[in-house]
Amino acid sequence: MDSSIDTSLPTEVAEGIQALKNYFGADYASVLSEVTPRHGELSSFDLILPTDYLDVDRILQIGFPRTFPNKGLNLSLIPSPGLDWPHNLNETLCLFGIGQNPPYGNSVDVVIETMIRLGDLIKVVIKDGDSAGLLKEFQSEITNFWQHQLSRANQQLILLNLPESSCELMALSDQRWRPSLGEQYVWLGRTAESIQNHLRRLSSDTNFKINAPGKAAYYIVLATIPNVKIPKPSNLVDWLKPHVTEAESTSFNKWLKESSGYPLRWVVLKLPDSSIVLQAIGLRQNGLKPSSSITYGKRADKRFGNNRKQNLSGSLSYTPVHVIDPALIHSRNPTYKTSVTNTKKVLMVGVGSLGSKVTLELIKEGVEHIHLVDPDFLADANLGRHILGADDLGRNKAVALREMINRDMPLVKVTINDDFLETVVLDKPSFLEQFDLIVITTANAWSEAFLWRTFKSKGAKWALVQAWSEPYAFVGHALAAPIEQSADATSLFDASGNFKYAFTEFPDHGHIPLPGCGIGFVPGGPLGLSQIAAMTTQLALDCLVDKVKQPTWRYWIGNSTLAAEYKGKYIGPATDGAISATFSKTWPGCST
Amino acid sequence: MTTEFDHLLKERNIVSLASKDPTQIDAWERILIKASEHLSLTEPQYKLICDRYETLQGILNASTDPILRDAHIFVQGSIGLQTTIKPASNATGEMATIDADAIILLPYVGSATSEQVLMAIEKRFRDASRVDAPIKPLRRGIRMVYADENPGFHMDITPARTCSGNTDNKGYGFLDVPDRVTGWKGSSPRTYSQWLESISQQQIKIAMDRSESIALAEATQDPMPHYDKYASGNPLRVAIKLIKRSRDEWAITSRKIDVRPISAILTTLAALAYQEVVQESRYQEIRAIDAIFKIVQKMPKFIRIMNGEFKVLNPIDSRENFAEKWNRPHGEGYAYARAFFDWYSAACDAFSVGFIQADTPKQLEDALLMKFGIPVSRTQDWMSTTPRNWTLPGRRAGVTLNTISTAGLLGSGYAQAKSQASIEPVRRLG
């Protein structure tokens, strides 16, 4: 260890200092000097940097914080280059972007990684350096730079469906009473109808109508990235002009003039990249305080549209923008092609503890058309394993689940029947024909047999998945019959509806009676049900994408040894110590 | 004895600047000037010594001794010439305190002997209750040591009377100073200072504020040179300060403190050299570092050997030979002369150290510490503020802060290390 290093420093810091000196070699003292510790740092250095592309000589202040190396080196440039250097934000040099994550590891790792990343940066900012690389670095974090220059607006935007090209957007303020949000949300849509439909789903008000929505936003698809420096409002058109087509620029300019009566407007920029990165800039008229909220209601255009202003003055702000679009929502789950799953219609028969989970997972996997059938009501004892919550107690499960889906995944088209399936079909015999897949999780022998015997055994085209959990949810089963194939699984069950190939045995078949006629429950915890739901969802999706070619039986076996604790017995296949395993087979004693 | 040194009494080339990297010359000039500033007294230090002059004047004013009537104290030596340097940090004894000299002009000495004058001065300062500094008799005056001040300094006070025929009442012209061995002895300290000042002003054009000068002139004590003027160097002052410090460092490390060249010799030779540099510069403009180098280079040529004796005469009073000790018999003088030339050789090396071609900054840092007593941290500060595209002093041509920084950031460490950016992302989702 270098004798000049303070021995009272923590070992990690001393090693970090040594690594820093070693990195620069024998000549380190020419450019690296220790200074009085700054801002509570344990040790601080000044590093002389090469003259930069602006012909400015800068010092990099390097500090070892008290929590080094868990917290990396503090880095700041003197004089600060402001927006002239990439990665320099809030007077701090942030090297995350270069390596995506902050430098991590032990003291030496952190120092060396920091210096490597600094080297990457120096290569582009050094005098006569890589100017193309400099531009690329700026552009790779352009949104940070823009945001850094703008004050944060008191709104957030939700864009409903991503337009394919530059266009005017309608705006409607979210006027639901949600005080905990603390700021205003505004929906943006290509048409009034798109917002109207969204609101209808959210409010379950099918008569909701928007008369004259405010044309308070504009969506611009950028061909290239505009300058890092945000312009004055009056120069906004010029700032964007080189990065859009002539026609787009003209349209945008026209919108700017026509919408000048709106006290608050937004320009939503889509960056030129294959991924969807949007940046919204708010245009606030002079006199409107940043904290002021403007509500754009159903008739906003009548109120603000004709009050045009001559000059584009005021101020710009940064407004977070979110997108509700399937392409974005499902962009991170590639297991099943949503282009296939989103065309299929699925009927969920029973949305209890198991069916509700399967419903939600199917939606997350891209199913956009789903019908829920369940006559049951949410009870307090359901809360421990159902996806619905206390606000829905006493409500029909299908109704409540539809509301939840409309709120959380608003692009999904959910329809329901709060009745028994048999009743629904009796009312409309062709009801089932619209579906590609029926998933039944009622664990009710009658409704199951109704589907198998009445339809599937007689050539119904839809695929059918029947799933259930054995008592205590140590074992779960799912039986599937493929699309276009006749099948009947009723022979796999005894006259009471119990599966002949069950793997566990419990007193009274695991049924716990409750005071009341026919009232009782089968115990089973949420963890086991989640596993069975996952298995069922996977089988359902396999059916949807036509991967299931024959009657298929999947079963999941959890920690079967626990059955004994509930006076039960595991009688299934040996699991060889597995405590959670899924198996796939053809139906036992297959009777296709 | 003097013949041994004949061949040394000529101009000596320190280094050929024409062959050096122009930016390195700039950088070394900058370091030399900074080093000179570093050696200079700070304003508070200067004021502290100023205050002591005033105190001494007050003591003299209160005297009833007829010899001391209307006694007039004025600054002499380096304080007046603005070439005082701080003591070297490794100095001991009298070298560890700042040398601040004064002349007391006594208009009413009358027929008093040199011994009577020296006694009167010594008695007056011993009697003055306000004086708490120890007083040490010197051959031609007294020394008051203010060792406990910060910085510590000693003031050598020499009484003087005007020579017959000299009617100046401000101490200019020929004076006599009392010598405990030889009686009254000729000297011209004030005119000598005036001469030095006039030479130094041939390059520097910082004029004192006249109104201030007039106001100060009202006092019986001569005005101290204004601080701004004192601190702002010119090539002569820069050179003298560096020369004096190199002398001190050389004397300490070579254990030649007793025979080290006295400041009067160094200052006189430097001033004479500078006078010639000024003449030369009329035909070709030269830069500061040229002037500094030429001053050092020319110094030996103004040492004269006449009748087998070394002469470094007071240029305005040939009665005074500053190299008097070099001519002492029994080898004593030889030691003084030898010391001068040995120091001079070391000084030439010291001034050219900025052009060594080292691989690291350490050699220059060590050299500046050894030869001028500049702390390493100070050298590092100066080097780190060198313009980034200048070749650094003490380094190979083309080695600049930019090249070192670039090499550090993008050199072998950068090329050899494996960046975490190339590590694949964790293959887990959470």
Residues in chain B closer than 8 A to A57 (CB atoms): 387-388
Nearest to B361 among A29, A51, A118 (CB): A29
Whether the predicted pLDDT of B225 surpasses 50? no
B389 touches chain A (CB under 8 A): yes
Domain boundaries, position A136:
11-140
Residues in chain A closer than 8 A to B392 (CB atoms): 30
Residues in chain B closer than 8 A to A105 (CB atoms): 420
| Cα of B396 to nearest chain A Cα, Å | 13
* Total structural domains within chain A: 3
Nearest to A99 among B359, B401, B421 (CB): B421
Nearest to A25 among B381, B402, B413 (CB): B413
B392 touches chain A (CB under 8 A): yes
- Per the CB < 8 Å rule, is B384 touching A46? yes
Whether the predicted pLDDT of A590 surpasses 80? no
- Per the CB < 8 Å rule, is B412 touching A47? no
A229 with A303, same domain? yes
B407 touches chain A (CB under 8 A): yes
Q: For B85-107, what is the mean pLDDT? A: 88
- Kindly state whether residue A364 falls inside one of the protein's structural domains: yes
Structure-block tokens of residue A211: 């008369």
Confidence of residue A99 (pLDDT cuts 50, 70, 90): low
Residues in chain B closer than 8 A to A22 (CB atoms): 413
Boundary-marking domain end, from A119, A140, A161: A140
pLDDT value of residue B383: 93
pLDDT value of residue A14: 95
Euclidean distance between CA atoms A153 and A151, whole angstroms: 6
Confidence of residue A517 (pLDDT cuts 50, 70, 90): low
Contact call for residues B59 and B128 (beta carbons, < 8 A): yes
| Cα of B314 to nearest chain A Cα, Å | 46
pLDDT tens track for A469-503: 999 999 999 999 999 999 999 999 998 889 999 99
Looking at A465-474, B20-29, B160-169, B295-304, which range is the least confident one?
B160-169
Q: For A273-280, what is the mean pLDDT? A: 83
Contact call for residues A386 and A533 (beta carbons, < 8 A): no
- Per the CB < 8 Å rule, is A29 touching B404? no
Interface test with B, best of A96, A98, A109, A116 (most B CBs within 10 A): A116
- Kindly state whether residue A516 falls inside one of the protein's structural domains: no
pLDDT value of residue B416: 74
pLDDT value of residue A170: 97
Contact call for residues A492 and A479 (beta carbons, < 8 A): yes
pLDDT value of residue A522: 83
Counting every residue, how long is chain A? 592
Boundary-marking domain end, from A274, A301, A324: A324
Share of chain A above pLDDT 70, in %: 98
pLDDT value of residue B208: 30
pLDDT value of residue A288: 82
Residues in chain A closer than 8 A to B404 (CB atoms): 27, 30-31, 48
- Per the CB < 8 Å rule, is B360 touching A99? no
A34 touches chain B (CB under 8 A): no
- Per the CB < 8 Å rule, is A29 touching B362? yes
Q: For A257-281, what is the mean pLDDT? A: 90
A82 touches chain B (CB under 8 A): no
A30 touches chain B (CB under 8 A): yes
| Cα of A301 to nearest chain B Cα, Å | 45
pLDDT value of residue B207: 26
* Closest alpha carbon within chain A to B415: A116
A313 with A213, same domain? yes
pLDDT value of residue B222: 44
Structure-block tokens of residue B295: 């001053």
Listing DSSP states for A317-374 in one string gives EEE-EEEE-HHHHTTT--SS-HHHHTT-EEEEE--SHHHHHHHHHHHHTT--EEEEE-
pLDDT value of residue B131: 52
A218 with A84, same domain? no
Q: ipTM value of the model? A: 0.73
A394 with A537, same domain? yes
Euclidean distance between CA atoms B199 and A32, whole angstroms: 43
- Per the CB < 8 Å rule, is A27 touching B413? no
Q: Which amino acid is at B407?
A: A
Q: For B184-191, what is the mean pLDDT? A: 87
| Cα of B351 to nearest chain A Cα, Å | 21
A234 with A164, same domain? yes
The phi and psi torsions of B94 (rounded to 5 degrees) equal: -65, -25
Burial (CB count within 10 angstroms: exposed 0-12, middle 13-18, buried 19+), residue A3:
exposed
CA-atom Rg of chain A in angstroms: 31
Which H or E run contains A542? helix A526-544
Contact call for residues B306 and B15 (beta carbons, < 8 A): no
- Per the CB < 8 Å rule, is A27 touching B407? yes
A103 with A178, same domain? no
| Residue ranges covered by each domain of chain B | 41-187
* Closest alpha carbon within chain B to A49: B405
pLDDT value of residue B206: 25
* Closest alpha carbon within chain A to B419: A113
B417 touches chain A (CB under 8 A): yes
- Kindly state whether residue A483 falls inside one of the protein's structural domains: yes
Residues in chain B closer than 8 A to A28 (CB atoms): 408
Interface size A-B, in CB pairs within 8 Å, comes to: 98
Q: How far is CA A497 from CA A131, A447, A491, A510, in A?
A: 74, 11, 10, 14
Burial (CB count within 10 angstroms: exposed 0-12, middle 13-18, buried 19+), residue B37:
middle
Structure-block tokens of residue B145: 């040591």
Q: What is the pTM of this model?
A: 0.73
pLDDT value of residue A461: 96
Mean per-residue pLDDT over chain A, rounded: 91
pLDDT value of residue B220: 37
pLDDT tens track for A60-76: 999 999 999 999 999 99
| Cα of A75 to nearest chain B Cα, Å | 15
- Per the CB < 8 Å rule, is B361 touching A113? no
Question: Any idea which fold B41-187 has?
Answer: Beta Polymerase; domain 2 (3.30.460)
A151 with A272, same domain? yes
No. of H helices and E strands in chain A?
17, 27
Euclidean distance between CA atoms B171 and B80, whole angstroms: 14
Burial (CB count within 10 angstroms: exposed 0-12, middle 13-18, buried 19+), residue A559:
middle
Contact call for residues B388 and A51 (beta carbons, < 8 A): yes
CATH number, domain with residue A409: 3.40.50.720
A412 touches chain B (CB under 8 A): no
Residues in chain A closer than 8 A to B412 (CB atoms): 25
pLDDT value of residue B227: 40
A155 with A118, same domain? no
Euclidean distance between CA atoms B404 and A426, whole angstroms: 87
Boundary-marking domain end, from A124, A140, A156: A140
Whether the predicted pLDDT of A86 surpasses 80? yes
- Per the CB < 8 Å rule, is B413 touching A48? no
CATH number, domain with residue A97: 3.10.110
Interface test with B, best of A18, A21, A30, A101 (most B CBs within 10 A): A30
- Per the CB < 8 Å rule, is B419 touching A117? yes
- Per the CB < 8 Å rule, is B413 touching A22? yes
| Cα of B29 to nearest chain A Cα, Å | 18
Nearest to B420 among A29, A103, A127 (CB): A103
A71 with A129, same domain? yes
Contact call for residues B374 and B368 (beta carbons, < 8 A): yes
Beta strand ranges found along B197-323 (DSSP E)? 304-306, 309-311, 313-314, 317-321
* Closest alpha carbon within chain B to A58: B388
Interface test with A, best of B359, B360, B420, B422 (most A CBs within 10 A): B420
pLDDT tens track for B3-38: 788 888 888 888 888 889 999 998 999 999 999 999
Q: For A407-431, what is the mean pLDDT? A: 94
- Kindly state whether residue A538 falls inside one of the protein's structural domains: yes
- Per the CB < 8 Å rule, is A103 touching B359? no
* Closest alpha carbon within chain B to A52: B402
pLDDT tens track for A360-384: 999 999 999 999 999 999 999 999 9
CB atoms within 10 A of CB B315: 18
A99 touches chain B (CB under 8 A): yes
Nearest to A116 among B383, B401, B414 (CB): B414
Beta bridge partners of B160: B105
A34 with A57, same domain? yes
Confidence of residue B111 (pLDDT cuts 50, 70, 90): confident
* Closest alpha carbon within chain B to A119: B409
B415 touches chain A (CB under 8 A): no
A121 with A203, same domain? no
Q: How far is CA A424 from CA A353, B81, B368, B427, in A?
A: 22, 114, 100, 47
Between vectors from CA A91 to CA A87 and to CA A93, what angle results, nearest 5°?
35
